[in-house]
Structure 1
Amino acid sequence: MKPNLAILDEPLLYTEGLSKLLIQDKIFSSVDVFNTCEDLYNHVRDNSPQFLMISSNILLLSDLYKCLETIISQDSKVRIIVIGNSYDVIVIRKLFNKGIKSYLDKNSNYDEFIKSVHALSLNEIYICEHAKKMMINFISSEQEKQSPNIKEPLTRRELEILRLICDGHSSKDIGEKLFISINTVETHRKRILMKLNVKNSVGVVKYAMENNIFS
């Protein structure tokens, strides 16, 4: 059975169009659209959705925090996706601490939204590529300061490869850009993940949040 979705956003023309598209693509069984926090709270209380998308367009940041706290207090299991307004990594981290499961930027496309839904369906978190790159840059700067959270800092070459990996480049592409062999790239990749004790680039982001690297 397909999950249901609630959306807090405006204008109606956009949200209603998106809801029809999601139903048409058979992503959700139903989509309910709200334009005020009060209406959303009532909906969550009476018929809590499995997924909730909140846009920052109609909320100040302080109001967004309050909205998240209220929703989580009503139903801690709801999977919340926030569409941010080019927030910095400190704000993004706070949003995750408030209980969201996915962060997308206002420039994220429909495909990234669908990726985030699939990730949340697997009980994973999802962060858009733009925000992920910002977080990697924070990791890089902290490593240059010899952060005590990282026992063995990444080398400059490893940081360079890490950025390219998070930009979506394959090992072949990275090798061509840096004029090194694919085997060398793979060796660096393994050392990066080993040093951070993660399995992939999503793990890098989770590592950053869990260890307060950008706090």
Structure 2
Amino acid sequence: MMKPRLTIFDEPMLYTEGLSRLLTQSKIFSTIDICNSLETLSQHLKEEPPEMLVMSSNMLMLTEICKLVESIISQHKNTKIIVIGSSYDVIDMRKLFNKGIKGYLDKDCTYDEFLKSINVLLLNEIYICDHAKEKMMNFISSEQEKQSPHIKEPLTRREMEILKLICDGCSSKDISEKLFISINTVETHRKRILLKLNAKNSVGIVKYAIENHIID
């Protein structure tokens, strides 16, 4: 397999040259080019688009990075882009991934994590650094808390029975066979449970059951 080519779009020169020398020792890439301006980057992309491009938020504002990513990927579909961001929030990271980046690292990432991200991208997967991942998890759990089910009226004994079976992963068909009731009756109970718990789906039901120690 041919070694990929890498382009680093960043400044200052001292940092980019140092990174380039470290990466040369790693023998992952066939060539490593440094671009310190948009002009040199666009010229370089025209002549020899690399398989991998590392782009730093030092160079541009987030909106400009989004535009640049979009335009590079529309012209060079095989170029995998890693953005090194300055502690972007989850919404901004999502924007970048929606535009087509394949990796995101925060500025405080180590060289080892940088190497790890490159190896993951070479396997055609996406990479998000640990620090950013933690942010995403916190964001998701706080979003879920906002939507957590608040019970409107207590569940009946039958609804409680069905709730436990839903939490056990039983389908409506399984529940109807276990409780000797029709699937329609199960579906009606299920709808009532969702309504009472103000939950959107089975995940909401399970979450409610765990939070209220109905199941462990």
Q: Common fold, TM-score beyond 0.5?
A: yes
Distance 1:25 1:150, change over 3 A: farther
Q: How does 1:8-19 map to 2 (within 5 A)?
A: 8-19=9-20
Alignment of 1:94-105 (within 5 A): 94-105=95-106
Mapped partners of 2:45, 2:100: distance in 1: 15
The 5-angstrom pairing of residues 169-184 of structure 1 reads none
Matches within 5 A, 1:167-206: none
Name the SS of the counterpart of 2:53 in structure 1.
Answer: strand
CA distance in 2, matches of 1:83, 1:27: 19
2:145 counterpart residue number: 144
- Which one-letter code corresponds to 1:52 in the other structure? L
Cα deviation per residue 1:14-64 (whole Å; 9 max; x = unaligned)? 101111111111121110000112211121121110000000012111221
Q: CA deviation at 1:151?
A: 3.9
**Distance in 2 separating the partners of 1:139 and 1:91:** 14
SS in 2 for 1:100: coil
Alignment of 1:58-69 (within 5 A): 58-69=59-70
Name the larger-Rg structure. 2
One-letter amino acid of the counterpart of residue 46, structure 1 = E
Per mean C-alpha deviation after superposition, the further-off stretch among 100-109 and 42-51 is 42-51
Structure 1 partner of 2:8: 7
One-letter identity of the residue aligned with 1:140: S
**Cα distance between partner residues in 2 of 1:150 and 1:115:** 37
Aligned position for 1:111: 112
What's 2:191 paired with?
none
Which TM-score applies when normalising by structure 1? 0.69
Equivalents in 2 of 1:49, 1:150: separation in Å?
Answer: 45
Aligned to 1:84: 85
Q: In structure 2, list runs of 5 or more residues that go unmatched.
A: 149-198
Q: Does 1:70 align with 2:71?
A: yes
Is residue 2:43 matched to residue 1:42?
A: yes
* Alignment partners' CA distance in 1, 2:17 and 2:123: 27
1:152 partner letter: V
CA distance in 2, matches of 1:25, 1:11: 22
1:150-169 alpha-carbon deviations (Å, 9 max, x no partner): 6414749x89xxxxxxxxxx
Which amino acid is the alignment partner of residue 33 of structure 1? I
Unpaired runs of at least 5, structure 1? 160-187, 189-215
| Distance in 2, Cα, partners of 1:138 & 1:86 | 14
Q: Relative to 1, partners in 2 of residues 1:36 and 1:114: Cα closer, same or farther, differing over 3 Å?
A: same
Distance in 1 separating the partners of 2:118 and 2:8: 13
Moved over 2 A (4+): 145-151, 153-156
Report the TM-score when normalising by structure 2. Answer: 0.68
**RMSD over aligned Cα atoms:** 2.3
Q: Percent identity?
A: 58
Q: How many residues align?
A: 160
- Secondary structure, in 3 states, of the residue corresponding to 1:58? coil
Q: Please state whether the residue corresponding to 1:76 is helix, strand or coil.
A: coil
Question: Residue 45 of structure 1 contacts residue 74 of structure 1 at CA under 8 Å; is this kept in 2?
Answer: no
Amino acid at match of 1:62: T
In 2, Cα distance between the equivalents of 1:151 and 1:141?
A: 19
Aligned-partner Cα distance in 1 for 2:89–2:48: 33
